Amino acid sequence: MRNAPLRTWRTTGKAVSLAGLSALLVTGCEAPLNLEAVREQSQQAVKRTDFFQAMARNNRVIVLSGNNGVVLASADNGMTWNRQTPTSDSFLALDVCPDNSFIALTFSNELWHGDAGAETWTAHALPSQEQMMTAACAPDGSWWAAGAFTTIQGSTDQGETWTETSLNEDAILNNLQFIDSDKAFATGEYGLVLTTEDGGENWDYAGYLPDEFYAHSSHFRSADEGWVGGLNGFIYHTTDGGESWEKSRTGISAPIFGFISGPTGLYAVADNATVLKHAGASWQKISTSDQPLYLRSGLLLPDNHLLAAGGRGLLLNLEIPVALSASTD
């Protein structure tokens, strides 16, 4: 354990201005150069160069994070966004804490803590030399990160000190989820499924996915039931805490990148702007677009809408058919 250096950043505005456009040079025979479209694009919160990775919300704002330090915050269910760049490092993961603050993990192994309004962000250096890939805030407010070499780190004092453990396997953990204050799951490379029964103090194997399946994303509804998604449109389902898994029918071959759970059921987001709805032992595609852009994360909005985000600034606001929203899993 060691003290972690801090860096604090505060937002200053809602748009990023494009510098260097203060002077226009027009010669005699040339038509005036119209840069209004460029200016308009530069003032948009969402840009085509954005690659979004994670989304979370509290009772005040929705927060969306991605490459090159981009953080978007919306207080009106995604109608408008406040663009922020607290760092130049890319964000890999994002979660909301019980006190309505946020934690966000960067590729440089820093865990950024944001206030409930997602306006002020402070960086906390993680102690491990291993690359961290995912982060989660536990029900007791503790911060957690996991990644390479089956390394898991935790802090109960908001990043001042850290504990670190590893199962000493050369495998990457890229999903971490707390079910309650004691129970949590971590999934990742080579079909690993790890679990803790004591709030993260000790971790052990819960089971293995079939054929060393690489889990891009996972979601556990309870200590017994969960799903993992990965390449080729594969989704596996467990009802015994990860000891055994059964493959679900999805009807697609695109990689599965995330799960979204809410009152209307369970959804999966995938490559090619695909959204699936869980329906018994199978999944039903409910999106109509097939554009070659991934969807990585999302959440359910009021009035039967689903908001998902992904590559090239893709923000998909999808209306869920009434017949589907009326049937929960």
What residue spans define the domains of the chain? 52-325
**Residue 309's closest CA among 258, 262, 233?**
258
N-term to C-term CA, the chain: 43
**Which residues contact residue 189 at a Cβ distance below 8 angstroms, ignoring those fewer than 6 apart?**
171, 172, 173, 174, 214
Task: Quote the pTM value.
Answer: 0.86
Q: Are 273 and 290 in contact (CB under 8 A)?
A: yes
Residue 83 has pLDDT above 80, yes or no: yes
Superfamily of domain 52-325: YVTN repeat-like/Quinoprotein amine dehydrogenase (2.130.10.10)
pLDDT of residue 43: 57
pLDDT of residue 322: 66
Distance CA 64, CA 77 (A): 12
Residue 1 has pLDDT above 80, yes or no: no
pLDDT of residue 13: 38
**Residue 194's closest CA among 269, 178, 109?**
178
pLDDT-derived band at 140 (thresholds 50, 70, 90) equals: very high
pLDDT (tens digit per residue) in 172-206: 999 999 999 999 999 999 999 999 999 999 999 99
Dihedral sign, Cα of residue 113, residue 66, residue 79, residue 221: negative
